Amino acid sequence: MDKELLLGAEAVGLAAIDAGISGVYAYPGTPSTEITEYIQHSPIAREKNIRSNWTANEKTAYEAALGMSYAGKRALVCMKHVGLNVAADAFMNSAITGCNGGMVILVADDPSMHSSQNEQDTRMYGKFAYLPVLEPSNQQEIYNLVRFGFNMSEQTELPVLVRITTRLSHSRAIVVRNNEKTQNILNPAQKKSDWILLPANARKNYAQLLSKQDILLELSESSSVNSIVDTSGDIGVIACGIAYNYAMEIKQMKSKEFGVLKISQYPLPLKKIKSFIDSYSTILVAEEGYPIYEELLPAYFPGTTFKGRLTGDLPRMGELNPQIIAHALAVDLGEKNTASEIVIPRPPSLCKGCGHRDLFTELNSILKDYTQQHVFSDIGCYTLGALPPFDTISTCVDMGASVTMAKGAADAGLHPAIAVIGDSTFTHSGMTGLLDAVNDKNHITIIISDNSTTAMTGGQDSAGTGKIAEICKGIGVDENHIKTLIPHKKHFEHNCAIIKEEIEYKGVSVIISQRECVQTAVRKKKQQKK
């Protein structure tokens, strides 16, 4: 079959298309964005009429995928790790309903926080919900396991979680395709009690979920991706997901003897683990993420010494790499050059000509006159307003939190209470907070820095483009206090005057600071040329 050089993320997209999905649902988020983009740009997906537009947030994505599964068709939902927090209510409860058409939840974690606020480990959510988790170690295995995940989902009638990480998602390797499957026919779920989670039904369904755990364990025990690869040496490595690559790299490079048990499917296959660790007194548990299983294994196998992130043999946080694994196995990789002392960090910054720049310049000039200079902000390119030369913003916590934190601070008596939020973040989860503020008649100023795109993640369509003012009006903001400004040097005085006026207005005001993202504008121009 065809061979292609694909990013891990693209391998997910291709596998889902070949598995016969009828739709992908996603909100962008590094390192998961390229999955949906691959499907959006795939001519095969277009031919097969696979639904692939961006959704407003991860919760809407999740529920729509569940609806497609209810209708009997296969659906993929993807997001970055923190996106699952937003979709968590739907996720946890979909474990209780189960699914009809195959449903795969692809979550891309970001250990080391290359572009995230935390490094939460999605495998924990799998355990939390009692759902199976697949954790591929390379791009080909991503393809295979996403395909397998859809089959397994239909077989067990459960959504299946597939976890990848930044390294895998953003690394290319050759992937070989398999036969394509046709899409499922419309075949809606019939048993209402599965889907109506009234307490009486929920209790029965939950018991059923618990009774499926033995089946999931059996599937893990017999899975070919959980395999004892090597039984040499006097230390064994339980290598989870991508950690397997690093262990094998060290083995290949230094011909070092140590045992390797590769794990790519959870719940953990305890019988297989037992037969592996019986030959060793010491085991290194290499997990790309939290030491979830390192913490649990000693209770199952009290006679064995387990080493890993909790014992300090591996770093407590951050992503793994070959050197870290080598160090933990006392393998010397030889001398290396020392880092140069004159090398300085080169952090990212807002593009030249970006409208967010002008907004921050305006805000800095206005705030000079106030004793309280707090700007509650949010996640997007504009978070770079935290860095010099601006240093404008005071917070960035989770998507939508700018509006609600400004609201809470206003409740506490803070003035000015200013929120700066991007257009995509506003429609993701800022709108509901605005409704709270309107209902409480808060004295706050919400600035929506509207560049008509989701710029941070590479310029995806933004759900509210062209509708922001109408949305705010609909939520109940007084029309006279919804102001649209063009952030540009030539409007500096005018903009400052308006923003100041609205800060002083004793109610909810919304300022839409509107100029297209420079990068998106360039991209559009290029596309028009084609």
Partner 1 sequence: MNKNCIIAGVGGQGILTIAAIIDIAAIKHNLFVKQAEVHGMSQRGGAVESHIRISDSEIFSDLIPSGQADCIIATEPLEALRYVPFLKKNGMIISAQKPFINCDNYPEEEKLFSELKNYSSIIVDAEKLALQNGSIKATNTVILGAAAPFLDIPETLFAEAISHFFAAKGKQIVSMNISAFNDGLAYSKKN
Ligand X SMILES: Cc1ncc(C[n+]2csc(CCOP(=O)(O)OP(=O)(O)O)c2C)c(N)n1
* Binding stretches for ligand X (CB under 6 A): 27-29, 58, 80, 82-83, 86, 379-382, 399, 422-425, 451, 453-457, 462
Q: What is the DSSP string of 444-464?
A: EEEEEEE-SSBTTTT-B--TT
Binding partner at 524 among ligand SF4, ligand X, partner 1, none, C-beta below 5 to 8 Å by kind? none
**317 contact, one of ligand X, partner 1, ligand SF4, none, CB 5-8 Å limit per kind:** none
Query: Which of 38, 294, 52, 40 has the alpha carbon at shortest distance from 142?
Result: 38
Q: Which is nearer to ligand SF4, 141 or 423 (CB)?
A: 423
> How long a stretch of residues is the chain?
530
Task: Please report whether residue 457 would count as binding partner 1 according to CB under 8 A.
Answer: yes
Residue 463 identity: A
Which amino acid would we find at residue 197?
L
Q: Applying CB under 6 A, what is the total number of residues that bind ligand SF4?
A: 10
Helix, coil or strand: residue 333 = coil
What is the C-alpha separation between 428 and 57, in angstroms, rounded? 5
DSSP state of 351: P
43 binds, among ligand SF4, partner 1, ligand X, none (CB under 5 to 8 A by kind): none
Residue from 251, 262, 272, 356 binding ligand SF4 (CB under 6 A): 356
Assess 519 for contact with ligand SF4 (CB under 6 A): yes
In 335-431, beta strands by DSSP E: 375-376, 418-422
Give the pair of three-digit tokens for residue 31: 């390192």
Q: Which does 87 bind (CB under 5 to 8 A by kind): ligand SF4, partner 1, ligand X, none?
A: none
Determine which residue in the list 350, 399, 503, 510 makes contact with ligand SF4, applying CB under 6 A: 350
249, 142 Cβ separation under 8 angstroms? no
User: Residue 517, interface with ligand SF4 (CB under 6 A)?
Assistant: yes
Q: Which is nearer to partner 1, 162 or 297 (CB)?
A: 162
- Residue 454, contacted partner among ligand SF4, partner 1, ligand X, none, CB below 5-8 A by kind: ligand X
Q: In angstroms, give the least distance from the CB of 465 to ligand X.
A: 10
Cis peptide bond N-terminal to 315, omega within 30: no
The 8-class DSSP code of residue 149 comes to H
- Confirm or reject binding of residue 173 to partner 1 (CB under 8 A): yes
The residue with its CB nearest to ligand X is 422
In this structure, are residues 417 and 409 in contact, taking their beta carbons and an 8 Å threshold? yes
Binds 399: which of ligand SF4, ligand X, partner 1, none (CB < 5-8 Å by kind): ligand X
Among 436, 518, 523, 524, binds ligand SF4 (CB under 6 A): 518
**How many CB atoms neighbour CB 275 within 10 A?**
13
Nearer to partner 1, 95 or 242 (CB): 242
**Distance of closest approach, residue 454 Cβ to ligand SF4, in angstroms:** 9
d(Cα 203, Cα 208) in Å, to the nearest integer?
9
| Contact stretch for partner 1 (CB under 8 A) within 117-125, 286-294, 336-344, 429-437 | 336-344
- How far apart CA 295 and CA 267 sit, in angstroms, is 14
The interface with partner 1 within residues 98-117 (CB under 8 A) comprises 114-115
291-302 exposure pattern, b = at least 16 Cβ within 10 A, e = fewer:
bbbbeebeeebe
Among positive and negative, which fits the CA dihedral 302, 304, 310, 311? Answer: positive
Q: Closest Cα to residue 51, out of 19, 84, 74, 33?
A: 74
Question: Residue 289 binds what, of ligand X, ligand SF4, partner 1, none (CB under 5 to 8 Å, by partner type)?
Answer: none
Partner interacting with residue 332 (select from ligand SF4, ligand X, partner 1, none; CB below 5-8 Å by kind): none
Which residues, in sequence order, are bridge partners of residue 7? 172
Least separation in angstroms between CB 197 and partner 1: 37
DSSP 75: E
Q: Which of 242, 261, 393, 421 binds partner 1 (CB under 8 A)?
A: 242
Given 310, 351, 414, 486, the residue binding ligand SF4 (CB under 6 A): 351
* Closer residue to ligand X, CB minimum distance, 424 or 495: 424
Nearer Cβ to ligand X, position 284 or 420? 420
- Contact status: 362 vs partner 1 (CB under 8 A): no
444 part of the interface to ligand SF4, by CB under 6 A? no
Q: Are 311 and 332 in contact (CB under 8 A)?
A: no
Sign of CA dihedral 32, 38, 40, 46: negative
127 contact choice in ligand SF4, partner 1, ligand X, none (CB below 5 to 8 Å, kind-dependent): none
Binding window for partner 1 (CB under 8 A); candidates: 329-337, 392-400, 421-429, 500-508: 329-337
- Residue 324 or 414: the one with the smaller Cβ distance to partner 1 is 324
What is 250-280 written as a DSSP string?
Answer: HHHHH----EEEEE-EES--HHHHHHHHTT-
How many C-beta neighbours within 10 Å does residue 114 have? 14
How far does Cα 309 stand from its chain's mean position?
23
Question: Which one, 33 or 442, has the nearer CB to partner 1?
Answer: 33
The radius of gyration of the chain's CA atoms, rounded to the nearest angstrom, is 25
Chain residues in the site for ligand SF4 (CB under 6 A): 350-351, 354, 356, 381, 451, 455, 517-519
